[in-house]
Structure 1
Amino acid sequence: MSVYEGGNLMKSCIHIYCGDGKGKTTAAIGLAVRAAGSGKKVLVTRFLKTDHSGEVNSLKALPEIEVTPCERSFGFFTNMTEDQKKEAKSYYSGLLETTLMKAGEEGFDLLVLDEIMAVCNYGLVEERQVLDFLKSRPEKLEVVLTGRNPSESLLDEADYVSEVRKVKHPYDKGIKARKGIEY
């Protein structure tokens, strides 16, 4: 999508940060902070994560960034009962719908959909809805998608694809997630 900014022809792009390594969300948040520092209006929506992660407080302190609250946690997908999966699907589908409507109507410059690949892969949101939005998004809206194992359809739609590969991780030695580092 082409858009003019300051007399220059600009293209809004789709970014994917994927892979099995640590740093996908960190990269997305870094871009959100960069955009906010340039006066751009940013919307961040997180899936499968509550607001108890350190970056949420920092993002909320920046007036250019709006963080959509993620008020429900359903635990690990593989541990959910069928009823919990249905409840999670209803919740995350609603969260996505609200986010896409807001991003489309309220003049945001950057949208971050953190862990969107996971909720698509688990069937908790319809990937078709994400793809349809990407193809019809407002001209100036840059979009960031994070998570593991993006589909070929999402990869085809993206302008940037950056893979974060795990070489080594403390979890492999039994070290649990640490506040301020992993969350």
Structure 2
Amino acid sequence: MKSCIHIYCGDGKGKTTAAVGLSVRACGSGKNVLITRFLKTDHSGEVKALQALPGITVTPCERSFGFFTKMSEAQKAEAKVYYSELLETTLQKAVEGAYDLLVMDEIMAVCNYGLVEEKVVLDFLTSRPEGLEVVLTGRNPSDKLMEMADYVSEIKKIKHPYDRGIAARRGIEY
């Protein structure tokens, strides 16, 4: 079976939710799933549920640097080292492990912020193990990523409670 590359992008809520849904579907079909989350700690509600499912491995994201726009230059440099190492670890696991699906949540953001080299991601996608399905989430994927993708789903915000001053709610937004 040919493996495909999926992109869930856009300014709407639901990119991670779509990736989690696909992960659960794959797991329920007996597939092994590796999920790595960039720019997000493990305090989000789905992580605990995903970790309880046999066949799903969630790579720990143990560091938080806050919002990129509020980081100092020193924090940005530190974040670049951390996320580049996290990416390398993820790609190594994906190659060495018996995974059928790899999810890299918010990979577009870390690429766009220069916290990881997009070339590393592109090279991996080109040479990934046969049969490894890959999901990439985040806003503003590059033209190169869009060209490589087999699926591109844009999630567009029409309306969101945040626009009315309602903060993120546990179990809904995180």
| TM-score band w.r.t. shorter chain | over 0.9
2:67 is aligned to 76
Equivalent in the alignment of 1:47: 38
Q: 1:35 aligns with which of 26, 29, 33?
A: 26
Which runs of 4 or more aligned residues in structure 1 lie more than 2 Å from their structure 2 counterparts after TM superposition?
A: none
Which of 5, 12, 30 does residue 21 from structure 1 map onto? 12
Structure 2 residue corresponding to 1:101, chosen from 82, 92, 108: 92
Residue type of the alignment partner of 1:20:
D
TM superposition shift of 1:154: 0.2
* DSSP-derived class of the 1:150 partner: coil
Give 1:101-120 correspondences, 5 Å limit: 101-120=92-111
What is the identity, as a one-letter code, of the residue corresponding to 1:127?
A: E
What one-letter code is carried by the residue in structure 1 that aligns with 2:54?
P
Q: What is the aligned partner in structure 2 of residue 4 from structure 1?
A: none
SS in 1 for 2:57: strand
The residue correspondences of 1:27-176 to structure 2 (distance < 5 A) are: 27-176=18-167
Query: Cα offset for 1:63?
Result: 1.0
Following TM superposition, by how much is the alpha carbon of 1:148 offset from its aligned partner in structure 2, in angstroms?
A: 0.1
CA distance in 1, matches of 2:87, 2:6: 18
Structure 1 unaligned runs (5+)? 1-9
State the Cα deviation string for residues 132-178 of structure 1 (Å, max 9, x = none): 00000000100000000000000000000000000000000000000
Q: Structure 2 counterpart of 1:126, which letter?
A: E
TM-score with structure 1 length normalisation?
0.95
1:107 shift after superposition:
1.4
Distance 2:167 2:39 in 1: 18
Q: Which runs of 5+ in 2 are unaligned?
A: none
Q: Which amino acid aligns with 1:140?
A: G
Output the CA distance in 2 between the equivalents of 1:47 and 1:73: 9
Distance 2:63 2:80 in 1: 12
Report the TM-score when normalising by structure 2. Answer: 1.00
Identity over aligned pairs, percent? 79
Q: Structure 2: how far apart are the matches of 1:141 and 1:48? A: 24
Give the AA of the match of 2:49.
S
In structure 1, how many angstroms separate the alpha carbons of the residues matched to 2:120 and 2:139?
18
